[in-house]
């Protein structure tokens, strides 16, 4: 059964909107976190792109969850609910960034590089544990749960559709659009460049982790003062 | 017009005299272990007036280029033809600093940073320039030129053309004059120093993108980045605020009377960490530090230089590696593992010694060809450009 034209057009428009916001606001917002994370885990180009992709997957999942919630419970219409929601999701994202930063720092301290001056492999914490993929996903998920103005507008406009499933599909399409952003390339390039310095990977990892922790602390402060 | 022709003639005479002098020395010195070094010095010296030709032919004193430090746009190579598309002049992969009055070409690092932030959008640039195209188009031109030059010449620029490379060589010569030996880093430290440039490249790119987020992505991540605000005034080209080449150029021009010392100093404001425009305390501190270290370690800065790193990225790493045409080749059968190449290398490259023949060029090699010059085995080491041998090692021991 074919979709009605207006709904199909809305789907396409939402995906396009996602692409536009993904290339602009989303890339800008997420760049410091993603590059710090990539520096922290010592990824190369491929792993940098993959980490960014996983981070974006977390955001897409969050958008889909929010869409489903909005469609079923009309959660975001009530302003008195929205403000505390924003505060606590922001706080969660800050705490998760801080924990991921501490995790990278501690992991880096306990891992040893097998470099002897040359012919050494970069310190790929990625390979040591699978938890870091989860970290990228959780970071993306917690970031996605913080409702940004374009997403809020989308959630509210999706309520006009007849079924709750439309809200879910619209936010999912929006999320997929934002996931296909220049952030993937920027993450890959960051990994590519830093991977050329395997002997300094411990230091870049520490710096990346510290920046992530600082970003986390600044978000926590922002959330508390909200 | 007549004055300009006169100035050009003056420049030709000065350059000609320098070249003739060095050629005379070359002829006089028949020591085969120094011939390439002398030729290299000759080319390095010749490129100083070519890169900063305005020092000689710049229309100083004219209203559009007062000695306060405004770049005379008339001498910028390519600026006149490309107009608003590329008003900052042709990109070169050598430290051809943007800040002095008389440059003819422009350092690629400044262009890459500035076209990300603050000049991403079309509009006014510094010193009355106007960009008619977007930052991404200008970046494409810069990277296109950089990749093309890197593929053709590789880090030959660093060894033979870069003015800061010449400064490093002069510092080494000062030490040699006092019969002092060079210091060497341990192999691991040296490799780490060589790798540091990629971290520097990543850092200034990410910082520039974050500073320019308002123009690029429509969301301001750092406050004070708007025109006239703090970051715009003092950190619009973050790497340039720590580059040691900038104060060297500015100090040289100021001492020659082409830049007004009062203006240069006036623009430095505030505390130590607050970067000024022409001459900053941070720049000066790094220049002093680099100079002191370079007195002990040969070509110290060339091991860290991010511009050298960019050339290496576009020349020594796939997929660019396969297309580069300038290569240092070694014939394994003729190598006796005497280790001379390893000992004489100013950047302590060990791969020429260790690799099993074939293409032995590495990202750390500045192609100064000191190894080719000093290798005592006929045809063992060769510099090939597009498959044609330009320089090769000679049996200088027996020919003496």
Q: Which pLDDT does position A7 carry in this prediction?
A: 63
Nearest partner of B213 among A54, A133, A183, judged by Cα: A183
Q: Do B198 and A196 touch (CB under 8 A)?
A: yes
Helix, strand, coil in percent for chain A, rounding step 5: 80, 0, 20
Whether A216 shows a pLDDT value over 80: the answer reads yes
ipTM for the complex? 0.76
**CB burial readout B31-40, b (16+ within 10 A) else e:** ebbbbbbbbb
pLDDT at B20: 75
Where is average pLDDT lowest: A50-64, A138-152, B3-17, B27-41? B3-17
Contacts with A, B 376-395, CB within 8 Å: none
Across the interface, of B195, B205, B213, the residue whose CB is closest to A199 is B195
Mutate to test the interface with B, among A25, A196, A206, A218 (most CBs of B within 10 A): A196
The ranges assigned to domains in chain B are 72-322, 325-399
Q: Answer whether A94's CB lies under 8 Å from A220's CB.
A: yes
For the cut 70, the answer to whether the pLDDT of residue B280 exceeds it is yes
Residue labelled with tokens 């060809």:
B369
How far is residue B172 from each of residues B158, B300, B303, B345, measured CA to CA in Å? Answer: 16, 10, 15, 13
Q: Is the Cβ of B196 closer than 8 Å to some Cβ of chain A?
A: yes
Band of pLDDT at residue B251, cut at 50, 70 and 90: confident
A182-197 pLDDT per residue, tens: 899 999 999 999 988 8
A→B interface, C-beta within 8 Å: 23-25, 27-29, 31-32, 35, 39, 115-118, 186, 189-190, 193-194, 196-200, 204
Cα B340 to the center of its chain, rounded Å: 27
The model's pLDDT over A170-180, given as tens digits with 9 standing for 90+, comes to: 889 999 999 98
**With an 8 Å Cβ cutoff, are A25 and B217 in contact?**
yes
The answer, yes or no, to whether residue A123 has pLDDT greater than 60, is no
Asked if pLDDT for residue B45 goes beyond 90, the answer is no
Percentage, residues of chain B above pLDDT 70:
84
Mutation target to probe the B interface, by most B beta carbons within 10 A, among A24, A31, A198, A212 is A31
What pLDDT shows up at residue A56?
Answer: 93
Do A28 and B206 make contact, defined as CB atoms within 8 angstroms?
Answer: no
Cα–Cα distance measured from residue A41 to residue A33, given in angstroms and rounded to the nearest whole number: 12
Q: Which of B20-34, B112-126, B269-283 has the highest mean pLDDT?
A: B112-126
Contact B333, B391 (CB under 8 A): no
Is pLDDT above 90 for B111?
yes
pTM summary value: 0.83
The pLDDT of residue A127 is above 60: no
pLDDT, averaged across chain A: 83
What is the dihedral angle through the alpha carbons of B80, B81, B84, B86, rounded to the nearest 10 degrees? -100
Q: Residue B285, exposed/middle/buried by CB under 10 A (0-12, 13-18, 19+)?
A: middle
CB–CB contacts below 8 A, A to B: 66
The whole-number average pLDDT for the span A112-130 is 47
Residue of A nearest to B304 (CA): A197
Tell whether the model's pLDDT for residue B370 goes beyond 50. yes
Distance of CA B334 to the CA centre of its chain: 34
Chain B residues in contact with A29 (beta carbon < 8 A): 219, 221
Q: Which residues contact B227 (CB under 8 A, 6 or more apart)?
A: B118
Contact A196 B317 (CB under 8 A): yes
- Cβ of A200 and B221 within 8 Å? no
**Residue of chain B nearest A194, judged by CA positions:** B199
pLDDT in the model for residue B57 = 54
Name the average pLDDT for chain B.
Answer: 83
Residues in chain A with CB shorter than 8 Å from the CB of B213 are 28, 31
Shortest Cα distance, chain B CAs vs residue A25, angstroms: 6
A28:B205 CB<8 A? no
pLDDT value for B145: 93
Confidence of residue B115 (pLDDT cuts 50, 70, 90): very high
């Amino acid at each position: 059964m074919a979709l009605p034209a207006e709904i199909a057009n809305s789907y396409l428009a939402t995906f396009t909107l996602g692409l536009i916001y993904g290339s602009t606001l989303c890339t800008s917002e997420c760049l410091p976190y993603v590059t710090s994370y990539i520096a922290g885990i010592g990824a190369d180009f491929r792993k940098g792109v993959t980490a960014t992709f996983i981070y974006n997957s977390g955001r897409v999942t969050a958008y889909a969850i929010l869409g489903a919630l909005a469609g079923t419970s009309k959660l975001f219409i009530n302003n008195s609910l929205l403000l505390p929601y924003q505060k606590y999701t922001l706080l969660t994202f800050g705490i998760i960034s801080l924990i991921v930063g501490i995790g990278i720092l501690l992991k880096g301290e306990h891992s040893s590089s097998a470099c002897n001056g040359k012919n050494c492999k970069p310190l790929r914490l990625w390979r040591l544990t699978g938890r870091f993929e989860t970290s990228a996903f959780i970071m993306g998920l917690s970031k996605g749960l913080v409702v940004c103005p374009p997403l809020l507008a989308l959630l509210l406009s999706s309520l006009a559709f007849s079924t709750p499933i439309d809200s879910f599909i619209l936010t999912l399409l929006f999320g997929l659009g934002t996931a296909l952003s220049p952030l993937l390339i920027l993450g890959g390039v960051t990994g590519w460049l830093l991977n050329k310095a395997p002997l300094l990977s411990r230091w870049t990892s520490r710096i990346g982790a510290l920046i992530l922790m600082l970003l986390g602390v600044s978000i926590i402060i922002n959330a508390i003062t909200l | 017009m007549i004055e300009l022709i006169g100035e050009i003639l003056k420049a030709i005479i000065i350059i000609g005299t320098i070249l003739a002098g060095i050629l005379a020395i070359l002829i006089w010195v028949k020591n085969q272990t120094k011939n390439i070094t002398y030729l290299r010095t000759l080319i390095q010296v010749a490129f100083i007036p070519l890169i900063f030709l305005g020092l000689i032919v710049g229309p100083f004193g004219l209203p559009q280029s007062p000695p306060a430090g405004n770049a005379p746009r008339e001498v910028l190579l390519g600026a006149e033809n490309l107009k608003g598309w590329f008003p900052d002049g042709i990109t070169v992969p050598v430290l051809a600093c943007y800040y002095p009055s008389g440059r003819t070409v422009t350092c690629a690092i400044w262009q890459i940073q500035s076209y990300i932030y603050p000049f991403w959008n079309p509009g006014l640039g510094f010193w009355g320039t106007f960009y008619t195209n977007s930052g991404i188009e200008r970046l494409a031109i810069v990277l296109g030129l950089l990749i093309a030059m890197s593929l053709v010449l590789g880090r030959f620029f660093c060894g033979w053309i870069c003015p800061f490379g010449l400064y490093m060589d002069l510092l080494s010569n000062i030490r040699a004059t006092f019969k002092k030996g060079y210091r060497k880093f341990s192999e691991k430290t040296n490799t780490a120093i060589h790798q540091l440039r990629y971290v520097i490249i990543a850092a200034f790119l990410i910082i520039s993108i974050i500073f320019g987020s308002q123009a690029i992505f429509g969301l301001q991540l750092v406050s004070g980045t708007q025109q006239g605000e703090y970051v715009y005034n003092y950190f619009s080209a973050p790497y340039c605020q720590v580059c040691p080449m900038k104060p060297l150029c500015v100090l040289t021009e100021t001492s020659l009377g082409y830049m007004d010392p009062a203006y240069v100093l006036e623009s430095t404001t505030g505390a130590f960490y607050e970067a000024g425009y022409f001459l900053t305390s941070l720049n000066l501190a790094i220049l002093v530090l680099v100079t002191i270290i370079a007195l002990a370690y040969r070509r110290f800065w060339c091991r860290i230089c991010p511009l050298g790193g960019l050339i290496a990225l576009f020349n020594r790493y796939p997929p660019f590696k396969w297309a580069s045409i300038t290569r240092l080749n070694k014939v394994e059968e003729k190598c006796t593992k005497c280790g001379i190449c390893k000992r004489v290398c100013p950047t302590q490259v060990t791969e020429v010694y260790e690799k099993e023949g074939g293409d032995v060029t590495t990202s750390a090699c500045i192609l100064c060809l000191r190894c080719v010059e000093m290798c005592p085995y006929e045809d063992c080491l060769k510099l090939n450009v597009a498959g044609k041998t330009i320089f090769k090692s000679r049996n200088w021991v027996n020919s003496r």
